[in-house]
Every structure is written in structure tokens, then in C-alpha cells.
Structure 1
Amino acid sequence: MEPGSAPETQASQSEASAISLFSSRPCEVCGKEAYHNNFGALTCDACKMFFRRAILLGKNYSCNSAERMHAKCCSCRLKKCLQVGMNPQRLAKFKVKVDDKTSALGTTMEELLWMDQKRQDNLMKFYSTDNLNMETIVWNPDMVRKMKKDPNHLVTPDEWAYLALYSHTVYFLQLDFVKQLSFEDKVKVFKFNMLPLAYFAGLMRTKNEKSDYMYSPGGQSIYPIAMQDEYKDNHLPLTTLCSEPVSRLLELDVTDEEYCLMNIIFFCNPGLQGLSEAGCDILHTEHRKYFAFLLEHCKKKHPKSFIQRITDLMSFHSKIINNASAMEGLFSLFLANKPNYKFYMLIEDSFHL
């Protein structure tokens, strides 16, 4: 036996044992791949987060099905969670015993997922007709007056775009590192980022709904009716922007955790022109931190292919930026032909119109 062969064998055995820890079994709730016990049952991350949100937010789901369970029904899904042994009381006691690096990742993920869920919930309830520009909203988002929406009112595509952009602006303004930026830097960063990131959120919502085409939550087109009419003889560009990226998200099966981390990484662009040196330093630091979190997450969930996984996820950014630029071009061309059409000022600032 050659010197060193025994330790190598032991190392190989240890590596094999470590890899076996990540072997998957079916989630007891939905049947997808699962690696860990969560709150008392073997579940995938999606069902873990669904259960956590449902309990902590006190969701009261109703079900229209008569007898058997429906996979897409939240009420049925929650009942299945409870039936397989997921225990609400374990939410308060649940702690993961891991090293400091992974612990920091876990804390960050919980915070980001919670914030994004709040953003989505608030967006479904929020309504306003105030017409404020980006600078005003960044200076004080509370200047936008919230109204109780008439349940019979069908939100128009223009209104939906305005509300979605506002909700994303408020979401990022809550982050501690964003609060450290100067007002001037904030305005530059938000004007550059809000369109692509709101677009990314819409694509992710569509993916989670298992749809292959992005509509507003009310089932309408995301484009103004006048714009649909303008492009009725050549609707392919509009259609492509709402469908082609979704297929890639479905193919990759991007998780909510990955989305939240990618969202912050894409926001933190230290190379944005016109930023102060202090602003560049802040964004550079946060970009590195959240990229490290995403890398650690991919290593944990995809131990054998994490390099390819992180490459696939990060390459999606260029698609978002390119498509957002194409959307800007379509809106600019529309305004060139319809100069009297008025968008909300926040839309104009985000689309650089």
C-alpha cells in the first residue's frame, strides 16, 4: 500500500458520507425533493416556508373542493402539513444548530422571506391614486396616501405598474444598508433598479403560480390598453417579454430563497455611474455579502452542482436587464406615437421616459 493511501480512503469515505446526507426523499406534503425535517415532518423548503408563513401570519384559507385534496389549494396544503405532523408550536422553539456562517445565512433568509411576503401581501391590499415622482417617494414613501380599494374596482395595467413599483421601492428602503446611502445615491440606484426588479418579481410570481405567461394578479395584461392597441399588428415583442423568461425560471425551478438573495445582489450594483465613492463602497460590500450567502445556499442545496447552479442563477440577471431595456424601448416608442398619453410619474422615472 502506498504512503497516504489509507487517509485518502478515509477521506473518500467521509466525503461519501457527507454527500449522502444531502440525498433527497419525497416531501411528505407535496412530493417534491426534500432534505430536512421541518417543524416535525420531512418537507421541501417551499412547504416549510408555506407552513411558517401560514402560521405566523395567521392565514385563514378557505377551500372550495368538495372531497379530495387539491394540490394548488392553500387550505388543503395547510391541512396536509398538519396531517403529516408539522407542529405550529415548534415555530417558536425552532433553532438550527449550525456554524456561524450558515447561521447568518439562515437569519438573513428568514428576514428577507418575511419582508418579501409582507410586500406581496401589502401589494394585494394597497391602493392609491397619488401621482408622486421617484425623488419624492424615496424622500418619504409615507407621502403616498393609502386608500381602501373598492372590491369591485378592476385595477388597470397603469395602476398595477405604479403600485408594484411603489411596493418595491418601499421594500428596498427598509434595508439597513440602503438607509446608509445619501439621498442622491438612493435616487440614482432606485431609478436604475426598480423596473428590472419589479419585472423580476412579476416573473417569479408567474413561475410560482405555475403559469407560462405573466399577467397582473387580476389576470389582465401588464401593458396599458392603448399600448396593446398600438402594437396589435406586431404583438410578438410584448408577448416575448411576458413569456420567454418565465420558461427559464420554471426550468431552473428558482426557489423563493434564491429569488430573495438574487434580488438584493441585482440591486447592489456598485458600478452604477454617478454614485458617490461612499455609495459605491456600501453597495460593493453588500453585493459581496449577499453573493457569499447565495453561494453558501447553493453549496448546501446543490452540493454536487453548486458551481453550475450559481452560474445559471447569476446569468439570469443579464436577461432581466436586457428585457427591461427592451420594455423601456417599447414604451418610449409608444409615447413617441402617443405623446399626449400620461403615465404615473413613478412609471416615467422607472422607465426613463
Structure 2
Amino acid sequence: MQAGNISEHFLLMRMNRQPTYCAICNKADGGFNYGASCCNSCKMFFRRAAQHPNFPTHCKNTNSCVGCRFCRYQRCLAAGMVWKDPTPVMRDITPTIKHLAKLDNHRQNVFLNYVAMDNLTLDELIESNSVNYTLKQHGVQLDVFNWATLKHTTSVVFMKNFDFVPLLDSEDLKVYVKQMYKPFMMFCTAMRCYTNRRECAEFPEGLDILPQQLTSQFINCPEVLLKVRCPIVNRLKELNIIYEEFLMVTAIFICNPVSSKLSPNGQTIISRSQKKYASILMQYCLIKYQNSGPSRFSDLLSLFDTINNTAKNLDNVLIQSFGTFQPKRQKVFDDMMKAVLE
């Protein structure tokens, strides 16, 4: 069964299922687990029993007792519970997570420890085979524009390292990067701040992600800037997201085939990758959260709306400050402003 079908099946089951009781102990159930309606206690018992190497093979009492482990296990089997070891599925999921973690660790390492040397336009950054960095000297403090340049370059390089990118032609590559790199930057920034228990998005050392010459335009309406700094971090807190989930959501989010500027071939290539990562995330959620897996999958994907809305809020801030906000030298900022105003 494909991930999409799994999702639909479980969501319909959750919507249509009437309140029931545990088929093993007759207490109020905790959901549909291992093929039967059962409470969390019986679910955990069945999982331990199915994996126990020396589990009892007969009843010590009358073969129909209430309290012994053997009879309880037999009631689980009679209710239709079936143990399926998640290890083989996780064996398929784990390499993907490790690969994404490797890409992201490299992105974070460069962002936190290096300084970008090249002053490239966005097109040049996309077309470049490499970006020149120098190791950041101890005690050197970067300003908001230095941090933002690092965020731009490391985000674009991360996106270009996905395995489907060599299959895209040069025009599709530009469309792919340009439509997603800014919201992706905002997502990464929010995740780092959420991990560090910050209240809002900021650069390292507590530096505001918005330059002072821009924020000074909104002294009388600070709530406008809060809509840029805080929503994604707040949503991550609500979801209590973990790093593995962040990686898979990132991959699905980046692989966005919805753009009229993409060629049909480009849409097909990117869509194929998005479906692959969505399937992996669904399998992960079903294994980790079991009957709550589909709802967790849906909750994680709800991040897309938060990220996109926050990116639109940033665009609105840039549009309102047009003419007064002049980015510092870096060409990539000029490109970003042009894209917002198009």
C-alpha cells in the first residue's frame, strides 16, 4: 500500500470509528494498534510479548484465566493483533535521514563558523560550482548583512545538493531555487532558534534577523515585525518537532513542483522526489506514532502554511520599506528585493 493510500485509510478510519473498548481487557481503548482496538496498556504488553525470547508457552492455571501473561497474549491474538517488526522499514528510512542530516550538518557548520568571500548575484550563486569561504576568526562579530549572506549561500548550496538537481536543466534549476530558498532560510532560522529555546527568529548572538534601518520604519507598529520573527518558531513549539521530522519536512517542502515557470519535465522530476520524501515521512510517523501517525503527518505538513505566510509577511515588510531600506553591498539582496517587487 502506498503512503498516500495508507494516509487516506487511517484518516478515514479515525473519522468514522465509533467509540469502542479494548478487545483484550474491555477498558476504554486508546486507538487501533497492531490490527485491533486496544488500550495503550495492552498495546505495550503485546509489543513486549511478541518480542520476548522466552515468553510463556502455556497457561499456569486453567487456560482461561484473566491474570496470566500467556492467556492475555492469546486474547491479543484472538482479537486480531499481529506483530510486524518495524526494523526492516526503519532500515529503509534511516539512510535517507542520515543523508539529509549530513547535508544539514554541513550547512550549519559553514553558517556558524565561516564567512562568505564572494559577492555573487543569486543567478551566479545558483550557477556556481562552489562558494569561497574563509574561517571566521575568534572574537569577530558579524553584522546582520554578513549573517544574512551566509544564510543565503548555505541555503542555496543545500538545495543544490539534492540528488535530483543534476536532472534539471539550467532554467528549471533557477526556478526551483528562487521559489523556495527564502522560505527555506526562514524555516532553518526558526528551527535553530527553537532548538536553542529562543522565543523568536534571530541570528546567532541574539542579533535581530531584520536590520535596524528596516525595523526603524515600523516603530509605531511592531506587531508587523513580530509576524516575521515569531510564527514559525511558535508553530515548532506547538508541534514539539524533533530533528528527524524537521529534516524530512524540509525535504518535502523544498521539493515543490508547483510553479508555472517550471517545465513539465522539471515538474515531474521534482514531484517524484517530493512523493518519495512524503512516503518516507508517512512511514516514519506510522512507526513512531502508530494510530496517531496520520494525524502527526498532517500536523507536520501544516508547517507549510505557516512558513509560506511568514515569507509573505516578510515580502510585505520589504515592499513597505522600499526606497528607505538599502541593503549593504551584497548583490544577493538586490536580487531578493527585485524578486519581491516583481
Instruction: Say if 1:12 and 1:120 are closer, same or farther in 2 by CA, change over 3 A.
Output: closer
Tell whether the 8 Å contact from 1:123 to 1:163 is kept in structure 2 after alignment.
Answer: yes
Question: Which residue of structure 1 aligns with residue 103 of structure 2?
Answer: 115
The structure having more radius of gyration, on CA atoms, is 2
Question: Which residue of structure 2 aligns with residue 349 of structure 1?
Answer: 335
The CA distance in 1 between the partners of 2:93 and 2:268, in whole Å, is 22
Work out the percentage of aligned pairs sharing the same amino acid: 23
TM-score scaled by structure 1? 0.70
Deviation at 1:21, TM superposition (A): 7.2
Question: Which residue of structure 1 aligns with residue 198 of structure 2?
Answer: 211
After superposition, the CA RMSD in angstroms is 2.6
TM-score scaled by structure 2? 0.72
Matches within 5 A, 1:166-315: 166-315=153-302
The CA distance in 2 between the partners of 1:199 and 1:278, in whole Å, is 28
Question: Which residue of structure 1 aligns with residue 44 of structure 2?
Answer: 20
Question: What is the aligned residue count?
Answer: 271
Q: Encode CA deviations 1:151-184: one digit per residue, 9 max, x unaligned.
A: 3332111221111111011112111111211111
Deviation at 1:149, TM superposition (A): 2.5
The CA distance in 2 between the partners of 1:210 and 1:21, in whole Å, is 36
Tell whether the 8 Å contact from 2:200 to 2:233 is kept in structure 1 after alignment.
Answer: yes
Deviation at 1:103, TM superposition (A): 2.1
The CA distance in 1 between the partners of 2:157 and 2:86, in whole Å, is 33
Q: 2:96 matched to 1:105?
A: no
Question: Which residue of structure 1 aligns with residue 113 of structure 2?
Answer: 125
Instruction: Say if 1:341 and 1:293 are closer, same or farther in 2 by CA, change over 3 A.
Output: closer
Instruction: Say if 1:215 and 1:347 are closer, same or farther in 2 by CA, change over 3 A.
Output: same
The CA distance in 1 between the partners of 2:217 and 2:184, in whole Å, is 26
Matches within 5 A, 1:70-81: none
Deviation at 1:309, TM superposition (A): 0.8
Instruction: Say if 1:336 and 1:321 are closer, same or farther in 2 by CA, change over 3 A.
Output: same
Instruction: Say if 1:333 and 1:343 are closer, same or farther in 2 by CA, change over 3 A.
Output: farther
* Deviates most, 12-21 or 309-318: 12-21
Question: Which residue of structure 2 aligns with residue 52 of structure 1?
Answer: none
Q: Encode CA deviations 1:290-343: one digit per residue, 9 max, x unaligned.
A: 0000101111111121121111111110110111011012112212334x5546
Q: Encode CA deviations 1:217-264: one digit per residue, 9 max, x unaligned.
A: 121100112112222222211123212331221121111111111111
Tell whether the 8 Å contact from 1:335 to 1:341 is kept in structure 2 after alignment.
Answer: no
The CA distance in 2 between the partners of 1:288 and 1:193, in whole Å, is 17
Deviation at 1:115, TM superposition (A): 1.8
Deviation at 1:114, TM superposition (A): 2.1
Tell whether the 8 Å contact from 1:155 to 1:218 is kept in structure 2 after alignment.
Answer: no
The CA distance in 1 between the partners of 2:218 and 2:298, in whole Å, is 35
The CA distance in 2 between the partners of 1:173 and 1:13, in whole Å, is 40
Q: Secondary structure at the match of 2:233?
A: helix
Instruction: Say if 1:305 and 1:174 are closer, same or farther in 2 by CA, change over 3 A.
Output: same
Tell whether the 8 Å contact from 1:177 to 1:282 is kept in structure 2 after alignment.
Answer: yes
The CA distance in 2 between the partners of 1:21 and 1:135, in whole Å, is 58
Tell whether the 8 Å contact from 1:270 to 1:281 is kept in structure 2 after alignment.
Answer: yes
Deviation at 1:18, TM superposition (A): 8.9
